[in-house]
Each structure stands twice: as structure tokens, then as C-alpha cells.
């Protein structure tokens, strides 16, 4: 039994293709059923905005080709041959580990994929298409990703300029318990809003020009307050942090209109700039803009790349452990058959002794336990040697030999 994967991802297929190749739960079930008819009983489908990939165990050398054919039949409106990726055995296992750890993501080391892999795995298990082998491989991949996340803390070096700015605010000033003004209501402003909320801002006020955008933000974040854009300078007076992310071609925060009576932090996420740079010269004012943040992001990118190399070493070790575990599972059936054979012989021997000799209950227990222990001892070393075999060829030879010798 071998491990493989096939599918498409953002590296091989553009968004126009990935939009078509999307596995809903019902499509996953249909794929599972089709593969089951072909003798493929263990598989997991990971379908996100960046990838739609099938991970599976197979026994027939033709199965990988069959899986690709079934996959193509699921999406006849597009020829997938130019976009397909596929691997088998160790390369496929290593790829799953890298995917789960975020090392194959558009944003290196991102955390979201770990949850997506766990969801795909739980769905496969719930539908009955994950057994001992797939369970073991996926669980090891998840454990490895968690180890990398815990030990290397890759996500602490953000590559998003918006998140880098919020993280820097948190480090220098602290966001928890602070009152925050966000100017703008586009995607960047919404991201900043989400981040400061997660960091525990006491109050979040949004000022923007478009009421429909403001209502959409209010629907998603009901706890925020919405104020008119024209009142932004008044609102600033009650806040400690001001974040601006508009598409305005002009400054939206000018120094001469600001009343600064306490220490304040300004984060400018707009290009061109929203916030007057000369505020830096005002006592108690601190300002970060995209030029300053870009240096942080570049430094973080280099740090992440170094950590990714270390993560690759952790993955390689975990992959080898997983492969060794899979090798031992190939002889589990032989070991169980040997143990069953010995239990049968022990039962037969005990039955013969029991019929020939009048034994007390205590004597029966002693003899039975002695026979079972003796046969377990007889098997201990052969079983240990079986588990040490390093190649499938050796395992196959010993399994066949034991089957002939012991008639199992």
C-alpha cells in the first residue's frame, strides 16, 4: 500500500481554473464513491481557494492514473492535464507535511491551512474514507505543523503590511483597553479593524465618506461606532490610536487641524499617504506609514525564509518517522496472524492437558498463563526482527516465508 496525491494549486493553475475546480461536500462524496468502486478506500480531499488536492492510499500501480482520470471527469468543462500535479510515496508524504505547515502557501508559513487540513481530514473520517494508514499520516502532518508553529513561531513575523503595522502598534504601545479611530471602510480598513478588535481594543470608531460601506462594516462588526467623516478631528480627541486607510488622493489628517493633548499613535496604511508626516514633530505623536512598515516586512520575510529552512529539517525528520511507521504497519497483519496461531496452539494444548489431568481452578490458571507466556516469548524476537525490516521487498519475502512455514 502506497501514499499519493494529485490535484491543482495556485502555482499550476490561475484563479479562472481554480474557480471551476472546487470540491463542495457533495462533490467530495461523489469523488469518494467513484474511487471506492475502483478499489481506493482511503482518501482525503483538501479544497481551498488556492488548491484542490486529493490525498490517498493505493495498492494497484494503476490507481494513481485512475484517480487522475476520475478527477478530470468531475470537471469536464476544463482540460486539467496542463495543471495537474501528482506525486507518490515519500515525495507525496513530504508534500502533505509541507502543505499542512504552510510551506506551500502563497504566504509562507501562514496558519489558516492547518485548520483547513484538519477539517478535510475530519470530513474524510466522518464519511468512512480514512483508516489506520491515512489517520496516521495526516495526524503526523498536523502534529509536525504544530511543532513548527510552537518552536519557530513563524507567524510572529507578519508579511502583510497591515498586520505588520498593527503588530508594531501592539509591541510599542499596546492596543488592549485603548480607543481606536479607523478612517476608511475598504478592505484594508476592515482588516485593520479585525486585528485591533482581536488585540482587545476597548472601543472602535469608524469614520468614512460612504454610508453603504459603513453599514456593511457595522453588519459584520456590530460592536463598532460609526461617525461622519467630517467629524474625524473631533472623534480623534477621545482616541489614543488613529489608523487611516482610504483611497483619497489628498491628506485626510492634517497637522494644523489636530488637537493633541495626550500621547497618540498614528498608523497610515494608505498610498498616497493619508496622514501628515509633520505630525512626527509634535510632542507625544508617533507615526508609522507604509515606507516605514515596508522595511519591517522585508526583514520579516528574510526571517521567515530562514525559519522555513529550519522547518524543512523538522519536516524531513517527521516524514522519515512516518515512513518507518508505515513500513511496520505492512507487517501488522502477519504479526497478528502469528499471534493468533500461537493462541490457538496454546488453547489446544491447554485443552488436551485439562482433559488428561484433573486440575484445580488455580492450577488451570497457572498452566494456561504459562503456555500463553511461553508462546509470546517464542514470538517476541521474530516480531522485533519483522519490525526492523527496512524495505518492502524484505517484508514481502519474510511474510511469504512465514505464511508457508506456519500455514497462516
The rounded distance, in Å, linking the Cα atoms of 130 and 281 is 62
The rounded distance, in Å, linking the Cα atoms of 132 and 312 is 26
The rounded distance, in Å, linking the Cα atoms of 96 and 10 is 15
Short-list 92, 111, 113, 83, CA closest to 43:
92
The rounded distance, in Å, linking the Cα atoms of 244 and 252 is 8
Cite the beta strand spans of 59-164 per DSSP E: 85-88
Residue 285 bridge partners (DSSP): 264
Q: How far is CA 253 from the centre of its chain?
A: 41
Q: How far is CA 354 from the centre of its chain?
A: 58
- What phi and psi values does residue 329 have, to the nearest 5 degrees? -65, -25
Cell of 63: 490507481
Rg (CA), the chain: 31
Mark whether 207 is an active-site residue: no
CB 8 within 8 A of CB 17: yes
CB 56 within 8 A of CB 35: yes
Q: For residue 364, what are the CA distances in angstroms to 64, 87, 351, 352, 359?
A: 55, 57, 10, 12, 6
Residue tagged active-site, from 49, 144, 258, 285: 49
Q: How far is CA 391 from the centre of its chain?
A: 30
Q: Enumerate the active-site residues.
A: 49
Amino acid at each position: 500500500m502506497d501514499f499519493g496525491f494529485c490535484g491543482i494549486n495556485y502555482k499550476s493553475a490561475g484563479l479562472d481554473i481554480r474557480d471551476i475546480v472546487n470540491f463542495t461536500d457533495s462533490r467530495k462524496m461523489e469523488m469518494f464513491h467513484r474511487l471506492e468502486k475502483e478499489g481506493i478506500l482511503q482518501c482525503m480531499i483538501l479544497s481551498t481557494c488556492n488548491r484542490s488536492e486529493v490525498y490517498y492510499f493505493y495498492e494497484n500501480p494503476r490507481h494513481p492514473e485512475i484517480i487522475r482520470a476520475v478527477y478530470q471527469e468531475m470537471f469536464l468543462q476544463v482540460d486539467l492535464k496542463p495543471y495537474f500535479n501528482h506525486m507518490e510515496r515519500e515525495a507525496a508524504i513530504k508534500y502533505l507535511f509541507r502543505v499542512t505547515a504552510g510551506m506551500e502557501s502563497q504566504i509562507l508559513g501562514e496558519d489558516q491551512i492547518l485548520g483547513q487540513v484538519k477539517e478535510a481530514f475530519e470530513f474524510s473520517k466522518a464519511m468512512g474514507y480514512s483508516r489506520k494508514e491515512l489517520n496516521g499520516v495526516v495526524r503526523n502532518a498536523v502534529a509536525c505543523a504544530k511543532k513548527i508553529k510552537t518552536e519557530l513561531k513563524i507567524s510572529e513575523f507578519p508579511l502583510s503590511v497591515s498586520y505588520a503595522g498593527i503588530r508594531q502598534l501592539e509591541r510599542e504601545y499596546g492596543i488592549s483597553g485603548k480607543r481606536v479611530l479607523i478612517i476608511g471602510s475598504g478592505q484594508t480598513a476592515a482588516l485593520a479593524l479585525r486585528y485591533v478588535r482581536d488585540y482587545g481594543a476597548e472601543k472602535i470608531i469608524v469614520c468614512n465618506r460612504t454610508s453603504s460601506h459603513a453599514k456593511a462594516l457595522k453588519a459584520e462588526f456590530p460592536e463598532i461606532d460609526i461617525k461622519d467623516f467630517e467629524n474625524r478631528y473631533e472623534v480623534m480627541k477621545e482616541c489614543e490610536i488613529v489608523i487611516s486607510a482610504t483611497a483619497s488622493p489628498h491628506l485626510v489628517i492634517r497637522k494644523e487641524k489636530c488637537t493633541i493633548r495626550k500621547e497618540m499613535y498614528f498608523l497610515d496604511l494608505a498610498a498616497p499617504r493619508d496622514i501628515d508626516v509633520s505630525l512626527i514633530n509634535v510632542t507625544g505623536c508617533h507615526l508609522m506609514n507604509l515606507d516605514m512598515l515596508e522595511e519591517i516586512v522585508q526583514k520579516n520575510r528574510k526571517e521567515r525564509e530562514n525559519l522555513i529552512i529550519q522547518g524543512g529539517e523538522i519536516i524531513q525528520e517527521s516524514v522519515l518517522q512516518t515512513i518507518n511507521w508505515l513500513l511496520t504497519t505492512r507487517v501488522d497483519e502477519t504479526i497478528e496472524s502469528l499471534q493468533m496461531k500461537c493462541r490457538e496452539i496454546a488453547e489446544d494444548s491447554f485443552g488436551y492437558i485439562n482433559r488428561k489431568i484433573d486440575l484445580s481452578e488455580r492450577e488451570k490458571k497457572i498452566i494456561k498463563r504459562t503456555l500463553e507466556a511461553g508462546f509470546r516469548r517464542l514470538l517476541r524476537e521474530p516480531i522485533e526482527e519483522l519490525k526492523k525490516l527496512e524495505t518492502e521487498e524484505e517484508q514481502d519475502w519474510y511474510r511469504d516465508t512465514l505464511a508457508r512455514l506456519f500455514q497462516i
